[in-house]
Amino acid sequence: MNGTTETPRPKQRLTLLWISLAALGASLLVLRAAVAAQADPTGEATRSLWTTVGVWTAALLTLGILSFLFRDNPFYKICESILIGVSAAYWMVNAFWTSLVPNLFAKLAPTLVRDTMLPSLPESPTPIADFVLACVPLLLGIMLLCRLVPSVGWISSWPIAMVIGVTAGLKLVSSIESDFMAQVGATVQPALAFDASGSFAFWATVGALVGIIGVLSVLTYFFFSVEHKGAVGKTARLGIWFLMITFGGAFGLTVMGRITLLAQRFEFLFRDWLGIGG
């Protein structure tokens, strides 16, 4: 111990500054929201208690999620847990009402479902056939749940095999037609382009050449049976450039999407919650 008084280090001072800024900002926001006219500024709409509660809840949850940018904190943890819990519950309820009820229960016991769950359920002209056909997914579903019992877990392999087989069968034809044959057809273009009047189209030709060079060079990069050196190596290198530019474009589009999401949340906070910038 040297007996000197400890002074806050620069990093601690910076943290204090950030906490002060965050607290001040949050206080100002809440104060502004509390006095904001959340009703229609024209005065035509009436105040609604539940809309106000909804707007405040959404605003506080938004701020809670955004608070992670400052640092991990309990407010963020609460909002994150609520989001995960609500999402899980939503998907469970959604699957029950959109899949199990209309596609299974309504076929197995239509009268009961009509009386208790779906009054608008139409009469089926073939109830017996519906019942028999619905027994197949019911049985497969039960077999799938066998996975929860270790001693009979192997039974779940059968419905999984069926799901994989059906999915493969469903996708095979469409993928070959739409993602392979049609794509090959769209790629095979004349290198020299001419417009409707028959005159040379410069930029369309440039586009076609870029397409041809891009496809061939990228395919060369993924052709691993030949060592990538010499002319093959240079072509593969060009293919990497095409790939990098493509990935850059995709990343740019992703950034654009994320900025839009943030802009929409800010619009909500400003207009619906704080009542400014409307």
Partner 1 sequence: MSDSPLARLNNLDRRWIFLAMGLSIAIPILLKLRFPEYPGPMARATFNAVEAVPEGSTVLLSFDYDPASAAELQPMASALVHHCAARKLKIVFMALWPLGKKQADGTIDRVLKEFHPGYQYGTDYVQLGFQSGNEGVIKLMATNVPEQYKTDSSGTALTSLPLVAGVKDLSAFKLVASISAGYPGAKEWVQYGNGAMPEAFSIVGGSTGVQVSQLLPYYPKQMEGMLVAVKGAAEYEMLVEQKYPVAKPEVIGQGRVRMGPQLVAHLLMIALIVLGNLAMIAGRSRGGAR
Least spacing, CB of residue 61 vs partner 1, in Å = 13
Residues composing the chain: 278
Least spacing, CB of residue 259 vs partner 1, in Å = 5
d(CA 110, CA 127): 8
Tally of CB atoms within 10 A around 151:
7
d(CA 146, CA 168): 24
d(CA 207, CA 203): 6
Least spacing, CB of residue 73 vs partner 1, in Å = 13
Is 200 in a helix, a strand, or coil? strand
> With respect to partner 1, which residue has the nearer C-beta, 48 or 157?
48
> With respect to partner 1, which residue has the nearer C-beta, 226 or 240?
240
> With respect to partner 1, which residue has the nearer C-beta, 95 or 191?
95
> With respect to partner 1, which residue has the nearer C-beta, 68 or 131?
68
List b or e across 120-135, with b for residues whose CB sees 16 or more CB atoms inside 10 angstroms: ebeeeeeeeeeeeebe
d(CA 278, CA 267): 9
> With respect to partner 1, which residue has the nearer C-beta, 1 or 69?
69
Least spacing, CB of residue 43 vs partner 1, in Å = 18
Task: Say if CB 207 and CB 189 are below 8 A apart.
Answer: no
Least spacing, CB of residue 198 vs partner 1, in Å = 21
> With respect to partner 1, which residue has the nearer C-beta, 148 or 261?
261
> With respect to partner 1, which residue has the nearer C-beta, 161 or 262?
262
d(CA 201, CA 204): 6
Binding site for partner 1 (CB under 8 A): 14, 18, 69-70, 94-95, 98-99, 102-103, 119-120, 122, 170-171, 173-175, 177-179, 182-183, 185-186, 246, 249-250, 253-257, 259-267, 270, 276-277
Render 29-59 in DSSP notation, one character per residue. HHHHHHHS--S-TTS-SPP-HHHHHHHHHHH
Least spacing, CB of residue 251 vs partner 1, in Å = 10
Orientation of helix 49-66 relative to helix 10-35, angle to 10°? 170
Tally of CB atoms within 10 A around 108:
13
